[in-house]
Amino acid sequence: MTTLVMIAGSPSAPSRTTALMDYAARYYGDTNWQISAIHARDLDPAELLHGQFNGATVQAAAAQIAAAAGVIIGTPVYKAAYTGVLKCLLDLLPSGALAGKIVLPFALGGSAHHALMIDYALKPVLAALGAEIILPGVYLIDQQIGHQNGRELRFTAPEAEMKVNQALDMLANTLRLTNMP
């Protein structure tokens, strides 16, 4: 069975990033995939801040990622890069944690000024974790999406919905083509 894990990197709740991850899970609702989520903000802060590689919540997240064929990683842009809490988590993953996985990045920013963040900041970190197949990411701005009751994603721009759906379709097709379990 195909396993997919979604990593949400926002420290906030409610969060557009989290709503986008929920949307992705629903998008694949008619598959028999096993889908799980990791919310960086829910991991033990002491483990994250004190570099506790063997901490229970870090180990659980690492195991979820190890078991997945596909990884969706979503982060808000903070100061022109990914969030600190997401980096804390990524720093504690074992080397090669993303090797052999199909990775789809999403980034959400307040404006389009940092639209290249996925390429100059996020992808190098993903590559350092061993990711070889990183699909073209999608960058969205706050004017394009919102959320209802802090959960359900609302697209306010049709082109944003199209871009997200195309990226999710590409991930699904790539997983099928590579015939990953």
Ligand X SMILES: Cc1cc2nc3c(=O)[nH]c(=O)nc-3n(C[C@H](O)[C@H](O)[C@H](O)COP(=O)(O)O)c2cc1C
Q: Which one of residues 1, 32, 79, 158 is an interface residue with ligand X (CB under 6 A)?
A: 79
d(CA 106, CA 167): 9
- In our burial notation (b when 16+ CB lie closer than 10 A, e otherwise), range 150-162 reads eeebebeeeebbe
* CA nearest neighbour of 68 among 48, 93, 51, 46: 93
Tokens found for residue 88: 């804390």
d(CA 106, CA 164): 9
Assess 149 for contact with ligand X (CB under 6 A): no
d(CA 117, CA 30): 32
d(CA 26, CA 35): 10
Tokens found for residue 102: 């199909």
Assess 109 for contact with ligand X (CB under 6 A): yes
Q: Which one of residues 55, 76, 105, 137 is an interface residue with ligand X (CB under 6 A)?
A: 76
Q: Which one of residues 2, 3, 15, 57 is an interface residue with ligand X (CB under 6 A)?
A: 15
Assess 80 for contact with ligand X (CB under 6 A): yes
Orientation of helix 158-177 relative to helix 16-27, angle to 10°? 50
Assess 152 for contact with ligand X (CB under 6 A): no
Closest approach of ligand X to the CB of residue 53, in Å:
26
Query: Which span sits near ligand X by CB under 6 A: 29-37, 52-60, 104-112, 129-137?
Result: 104-112
> In the bound complex, which residue of the shown chain has the CB atom lying closest to ligand X?
109
Q: Which one of residues 23, 78, 82, 106 is an interface residue with ligand X (CB under 6 A)?
A: 78
Q: Name the residue nearer to ligand X (CB basis): 22 or 47.
A: 22
Assess 34 for contact with ligand X (CB under 6 A): no
Binding to ligand X, residues 110-129 (CB under 6 A): 110-111, 113-114
In the complex, the residues that contact ligand X under the rule CB under 6 A are 10, 12, 15-17, 76-80, 108-111, 113-114, 142
